[in-house]
Structure 1
Amino acid sequence: MGIKHRLAAIDRKIQLKGNIAQHEQTDAWSNRDLIPLPPSRRTWGWFNYFGFWAISSLNIANWQTPSSFLTMGLSVRQAMLIIVVGRIIIALFSALIAWCGLEWHIGFTVQNRYSWGMRASYFPLLQRILLNFIWNAVQCWNGGRLIAVCITCIWPSFARIPNTFGPNMPTTTYEFVGFVIFWFLSTPFLWLRPEKFKLPFQIVCIWCGVGMLSWMIWGLAVAGGVGPLWNTGQQLPEGSKFSASWLIMAGINQTVGGLAAGITNGSDFSRYAKARRSYVIGTITSCVITGTLVCLVGLVTAASCQKIYGEVYWNPPDLLMVMMDSGNGSSKARAGVFFLSAGFAFTAMFENICGNTIAGGIDLAGLFPRYIDIRRGAIITFVAAWVVQPWQLINRATTFIAVLSSFSVFLAPIMGIMACDYYLLRKRKVRLSHLYRTHDSIYFFWHGVNWRAIPAWMCGVAPTLGGLIVTVRMDPDPPRALIQLYYMAFLIGFFISAVVFYVLNFAFPPKDAMDQYDEFDVYGTFTAKEARRVGVVPIEDERLGSEENVIVNGEETKL
């Protein structure tokens, strides 16, 4: 057998297989994880979405959120106002962007094809993939710190382990061992498909939720109340260029921007909903209520522990080590700290798997549908943590992490295009069959590119990019106007891109690309009720295996 035949045999072996009878064809645009999800695979109820948003709240980053606003000079009340308003905005925009997934059961990867064009859709996809790679690595490193605390609870001498790394390595053996163990413990979750996430959501919510409340109650009981931190008033730095109102606006932008990546690909998970109300109820109750409560609990706990230890500890791993005296405390103290740190670690683990690794798998599947599905893409994303080397990012380049948190400068314009196109231009009509082919697709536009999306995105990025640059460079005296625009980056980017995209489509309307949809349920996507709602004729079960051909929007389609 020649080399050419061997390579062809290997290619056939590694290509994904799908059940053609279930429309799971594998080609350049489609595989089992990219097709519109049929009812049998839509298993998420309201609690799944409650858990999905809970794991983005029950974590170290959200626990520490009030600290960043207090260090700006804002009061406790102003910090909590930012959190409440920010969480409401997150819930509203999440529902707005994810609605396409609820109605047509397609994800972010496919959703962008009708806005950007089949080939240009890779542009927003690559941005998401980059973020998934980096945030997965950073989350693994943060989770490793919690694992290191857990190990110290069991073997106190671990906290005193000698550092075997040289001076050029920006980490210690203590931290690196925690990272390695966290990475390996997370690996089995890569084989869990999104349809089966209910049990981990339940465990995470109960364990970490009970742990946080217990921690707060313990702190209040031991301290006999809260410390001075709870009564922090407005303390703007003398000579501050910005009033409290502008700082509140900056805080809201920071809160929303921190979850911009998750909002952008909301349809990747909303498409798994049993019903639209499941997504709405679960998202609003958890995103707003749980997210706010975790910040409040973190604030109260930090304030009470300030009274106990005489210092404010915002970082949970640091506070946990103090509580057990770096492993030298009593067995009861170590047991309590183990329960808390393990709960945080498990939450970080599943948040990372769901929000970064699985999402990265879906995005990578969009790049190489023939060879990559969610599972393979998730493995690639997870292995990339070693290439990214998060210890270099965390310990050396804090400004780089600030850039990641401010990525809404680039993502908000993408969301603006998505919302404008779906609601205003297409009036919530999508022709599913044309999202999975190049030949004669109305979404191919000009050589696979909808040129209107490019200037719309650039116009949304341009006003706030300067503010991002001077903030990252830490310029001592940046132009006030640039900073003010940057403080409103999410809203500015979203609405400017939406308006420009609408104007360009009005002035240069694409040919035969709007208001079209398949008359028949070509992929077996909808229940009878859903089909009536979107105006599609459902395929009856007895006709699925027949050889009858029908005309679907002028084209012959086999049912």
Structure 2
Amino acid sequence: MNKHASPIRSLLSCTDVEIVRTNLEMEKQRMPQTTLQKFLRFLDVPHDDKPLSALRNPDLEPIGLSERVWGFWSFFAYWGLPNFAVATFSTGSALLALDLNIQQSIGALTIANVLIAVFTILNSNPAVKYHLGYTLSQRMVFGIYGSYLGIIIRVGISVVFYGYQAWLGGLCFNMVFDSFSHNYLHMANTFPESVPMAKKDLIGFLCFQLVQMPFAYVRPSRVNVPSIVTCLMTLFAIIGMLAYLMNTNGGPGPLYYKKVNLSVSQRSWAWLYAMTIWYSGISPAVANQSDYSRFSSNTWRCYAGLFIGIVLPGTFVSLAGMLCASACKGLYGTAYWTPNEIVEEWLSNSYSSKGRAAAFFIGISFTGSQVFLNLTQNGYPCGMDLAGIFPRYINVTRGTLFVQLVSWVVQPWTFFNTSSAFLNAMSSFGIFVTPIVTLNVIEFYWIRRSKITLLDFFTLSPKGAYWYDHGFNWKSLLVLIVGIVLGLPGLVYETQPEIKVNTGMMNYYYGYMFFIPVVTGVLYYGLTKAFPNHHEKLRQDDPVDFFNCFSDKETADMGMLPHSKANMCEVLDAAEPHNYADEIILGEGKEEV
């Protein structure tokens, strides 16, 4: 080895040098000449002189130590938000409709939550170790260009779910307004019958949207504290509702004692479908996990927060919702499945100061949880994904504002106030994200053996580790299509009951939470064995901390040279075609650094 060669040049292979050189060319800022070029330059996202290219902006880079501030309670709250929410509180209405009773429904949910927690932890590890989000992981799985498919799928789901959760948030907001004014509680609906919404519902929805919009300017890593606060508030609100209804009714009510008249086979499939329904509602959060696990300050606190946040609130809130509905059935003759229905019943019976105070606290608690639930599960993730598609022009803030504005297009009021098949189709959303999560786990653990190179996420060089075949990993794309297609017949049967059902495909749909990971996992692993990836950087870490995202301990554990201004100057110098190219020595010098 040349004794004058720098440590950086000794560590970099010729492939690394070419990739750095390609990236520098992509990130070079050229002076705009035409009016159009000047306008496009004006639209560039703020980047504080950080690199900007067709694949990179600051929000896409692996994050540094300053943003890794999430501990146990932050991850508990991240999963507490979808659990301390209206949708989870009302889950029992769907499960009891399967002819299960409350005890059996909770049994199915407990098993499902444990499995979901394990699946989520597995999916989160690339982010915990390498501090990268969902968008970059798609490049690892599907290729630089193929990643757009996985990103677009999640963008579509985020837009639909954002509108759905915002409408629920508007209903929660109305509890607060109901506590302010008796006239608002009994507001007349002046809309014609052809409009599938009430006037006060529209007011609540509009106000909720306006409250959410300023949070688009808050960094996702900084919403952990208000998320913790709103989770605790909603927990106390649920406990208060449950205690009052159970005490007033003198017991759990008639639904608790419902008898089950199903055969063993029917009961087994009902349990399986109950688990799938529950999983489907939170499956986008499972897929999103990498976007937030990268904020982890400690690996085991992250895992503990995820596990407990999924299992305990997910089981307790669903049970509380069922018991509240059962007690309402005994008290009022109707099973109310949402908090706003219960509050309206209280205020309609007695518009007292006590009832108004309860309505205000319950309303503000559920509204807060809906705000941060919608932001963390749908708003910010959609912003991150759109940044992956248009890095030069969209960052997390702009993308979040976009989904807030276009969520009106899906007309979420029709989900609740018409005979739309949307609510039935809600149990199918996991069909689209489960293959993606499975492929991510297989690719990271089995194919790459928990070692990936970050430099290659931002290159169009054919020598990049995620270039595959012209930017597409055909194996993973084929498996994704197979995984989705196999679940579609069941979705059609569920939304179109007049169609003759194929029992096998219907059963596959009932249990796709289990069947899709098995089918797609085995198929993908088999294809990678039959057509292996022989890339020279497979199962390797970067030789240098190019993005200044690792601590000294992490770089030491991975055998990586730490980032510093001096080191990076040498990297850039080594990448110049006229300097030191003949001094790059493959595989040598690492021991001397």
Partner SS for 1:398: coil
Partner SS for 2:435: helix
Give, in whole Å, the separation in 2 of the partners of 1:297 and 1:168.
36
Alignment partner of 1:503 is 2:487: no
Alignment partner of 1:141 is 2:167: yes
What's the offset of the Cα at 1:433?
0.4
1:387-440 deviations in Å (ceiling 9; x for gaps): 222123432353123324312112211122111111111111111101111023
Question: Equivalent residue for 2:552?
Answer: 528
Alignment partner of 1:152 is 2:178: yes
Question: Equivalent residue for 2:223?
Answer: 197
Name the amino acid aligned to 1:16. V
Give, in whole Å, the separation in 2 of the partners of 1:197 and 1:522.
28
1:220-253 deviations in Å (ceiling 9; x for gaps): 22222222222223144xxx89510110011111
Alignment partner of 1:5 is 2:45: no
Q: Which residue of the other structure, out of 470, 480, 497, is the alignment partner of 1:474? A: 497
1:476-497 deviations in Å (ceiling 9; x for gaps): 6522212111111122112211
| 1:227-376 to 2 correspondences below 5 Å | 227-236=253-262, 243-325=266-348, 329-376=351-398
Give, in whole Å, the separation in 2 of the partners of 1:205 and 1:448.
42
Name the amino acid aligned to 1:446. D
State the number of aligned residues. Answer: 547
Partner SS for 1:243: helix
Give, in whole Å, the separation in 2 of the partners of 1:87 and 1:15.
42
Over aligned residues, Cα RMSD in angstroms? 2.3
Alignment partner of 1:129 is 2:155: yes
Give, in whole Å, the separation in 2 of the partners of 1:177 and 1:184.
11
Partner SS for 1:142: helix
Name the amino acid aligned to 1:12. R
Give yes or no for contact 1:360–1:378 (8 Å, CA) kept in 2: yes
Name the amino acid aligned to 1:532. A
Give, in whole Å, the separation in 1 of the partners of 2:253 and 2:261.
17
**1:458–1:105 Cα change, 3 Å:** same
1:126-175 deviations in Å (ceiling 9; x for gaps): 00000111110111111111212321221111233333323332112121
Give, in whole Å, the separation in 1 of the partners of 2:329 and 2:588.
70
Question: Equivalent residue for 1:491?
Answer: 514
Give yes or no for contact 1:528–1:538 (8 Å, CA) kept in 2: no
**1:311–1:162 Cα change, 3 Å:** closer
What's the offset of the Cα at 1:528?
2.0
**1:500–1:245 Cα change, 3 Å:** same
Question: Equivalent residue for 1:400?
Answer: 422
Name the amino acid aligned to 2:560. V
Give, in whole Å, the separation in 2 of the partners of 1:234 and 1:382.
43
Give yes or no for contact 1:518–1:552 (8 Å, CA) kept in 2: no
Partner SS for 1:452: helix
| Most deviating of 505-514 and 177-186 | 505-514
Question: Equivalent residue for 2:13?
Answer: none
Question: Equivalent residue for 2:473?
Answer: 450
Give, in whole Å, the separation in 2 of the partners of 1:128 and 1:552.
42
Question: Equivalent residue for 1:64?
Answer: 90
Give yes or no for contact 1:460–1:492 (8 Å, CA) kept in 2: no
Q: Rg larger in 1 or in 2?
A: 2
1:289-319 deviations in Å (ceiling 9; x for gaps): 1211111222222233333223321122111
| Most deviating of 457-466 and 38-47 | 457-466
**1:521–1:536 Cα change, 3 Å:** farther
**1:84–1:552 Cα change, 3 Å:** farther
Give, in whole Å, the separation in 2 of the partners of 1:249 and 1:484.
9
Name the amino acid aligned to 2:109. I
Name the amino acid aligned to 1:431. T
Alignment partner of 1:379 is 2:408: no
Unaligned segments of structure 1, at least 5 residues: none
| Most deviating of 469-478 and 128-137 | 469-478
TM-score (norm 2): 0.88
Give yes or no for contact 2:191–2:198 (8 Å, CA) kept in 1: yes
Partner SS for 1:112: helix
| 1:201-212 to 2 correspondences below 5 Å | 201-212=227-238
What's the offset of the Cα at 1:79?
0.6
| Most deviating of 258-267 and 538-547 | 538-547
Q: Which residue of the other structure, out of 450, 459, 465, is the alignment partner of 1:437? A: 459
Give, in whole Å, the separation in 2 of the partners of 1:217 and 1:396.
33
Give yes or no for contact 2:276–2:427 (8 Å, CA) kept in 1: no
Give, in whole Å, the separation in 1 of the partners of 2:565 and 2:504.
65
Name the amino acid aligned to 1:525. C
| Most deviating of 219-228 and 266-275 | 219-228
Give yes or no for contact 1:57–1:291 (8 Å, CA) kept in 2: yes
Unaligned segments of structure 2, at least 5 residues: 1-31, 575-583
Question: Equivalent residue for 1:44?
Answer: 70
Q: Which residue of the other structure, out of 84, 103, 111, is the alignment partner of 2:110? A: 84
Give yes or no for contact 1:519–1:553 (8 Å, CA) kept in 2: no
Alignment partner of 1:112 is 2:112: no
Give, in whole Å, the separation in 1 of the partners of 2:255 and 2:570.
72
Give, in whole Å, the separation in 1 of the partners of 2:435 and 2:586.
32
Between 1 and 2, higher relative CO (CA 8 Å, sep ≥ 6) is seen in 2
